[in-house]
Structure 1
């Protein structure tokens, strides 16, 4: 198998070094490092073992970098499953909270109503996670608890 290397210009090398050192995501920094190591003369198998990747993924990022440039190493939008309900959708969150208040002991009925409203099925676990995220910092039940020790008579 023939070795393959990516050669970089001085500007590309500087941009990749900046991305490797200051990139906000680990995956982007790792991809920048792969290209930098190739420019330094390391083979794909060596880079793969250093980065904990496969030779095929290293080759794929070489191809992607050559086709799309350094910005192509960033993870694109739309990666992952879209949320059932976005937390920043105030209208939907308010409606969900009202339905849960209406059916506090029967979440299955609340879930039926939520599914009619959103058009998407939701599990109890997802509903609880959404409610927990929208509750804000701290324990909501702690607000109703008296603070300090009880007074002795």
Structure 2
């Protein structure tokens, strides 16, 4: 037995905003959700939308409900649980400052940490600082360099 057929009918401006979100949205999940709403507006059934987009029926129903209740903003991923990062990796300005300070005191992380706290006003443990440095270490770092005493890593 099938449930009642459900479609979302959009105005011209809503459709235009969803098409724009589908084309230029920052996240793939947001673009996919815009596409769900657009397919519903075109008269596609929920199981058909799920098959086309490779997701399950419950997901389609969830995002149709979120769009009806909150509009285009409802299609964004909600903030998850957990403590926010003290320093975000994508904040290049802060990460560059931290790396410069650590380069000045590479063997004394406690001194570097105190200077980071004074400069940025962000309190962190030594372990947090180490994790941050490990995440930001690239090919030019000491961890990516060839170790001269290891014969396997020589050319």
The verdict on how the C-alpha distance between 1:44 and 1:100 changes in structure 2, with shifts beyond 3 A counting, is farther
Q: Which residue is 2:107 aligned to?
A: 102
The total of aligned residue pairs comes to: 128
* 2:85 is the alignment partner of 1:83: yes
Tell me the secondary structure at the aligned position of residue 42 of structure 1. Answer: coil
Q: 1:8 aligns with which of 10, 16, 35?
A: 10
The verdict on how the C-alpha distance between 1:99 and 1:55 changes in structure 2, with shifts beyond 3 A counting, is farther
Q: Which residue is 1:71 aligned to?
A: 73
- What TM-score comes out, normalization by structure 1 length? 0.63
State the superposition RMSD in angstroms.
3.6
Deviating 4+ runs (over 4 angstroms): 123-126
The verdict on how the C-alpha distance between 1:90 and 1:38 changes in structure 2, with shifts beyond 3 A counting, is closer
- Paired with 1:28 and 1:12, the residues of 2 have a C-alpha distance of 15
- Paired with 1:129 and 1:94, the residues of 2 have a C-alpha distance of 12
CA displacement at 1:127 relative to structure 2: 3.6
Higher relative contact order (CA 8 A, sep 6+): 1
Q: Which residue is 1:146 aligned to?
A: none
| Residue correspondence of structure 1 range 1-153 to structure 2 within 5 A | 1-76=3-78, 78-79=79-80, 82-87=84-89, 88=91, 89=94, 93=98, 97=102, 101-102=106-107, 110=109, 118-119=124-125, 121-122=127-128, 127-130=133-136, 132=137, 139=140
CA displacement at 1:123 relative to structure 2: 9.0
CA displacement at 1:52 relative to structure 2: 1.7
The verdict on how the C-alpha distance between 1:79 and 1:140 changes in structure 2, with shifts beyond 3 A counting, is same
Unaligned runs of 5+ in 1: 104-109, 142-153
Q: Is the 8 A contact 1:44 1:55 kept in 2?
A: yes
Q: Is the 8 A contact 1:6 1:35 kept in 2?
A: yes
- What TM-score comes out, normalization by structure 2 length? 0.62
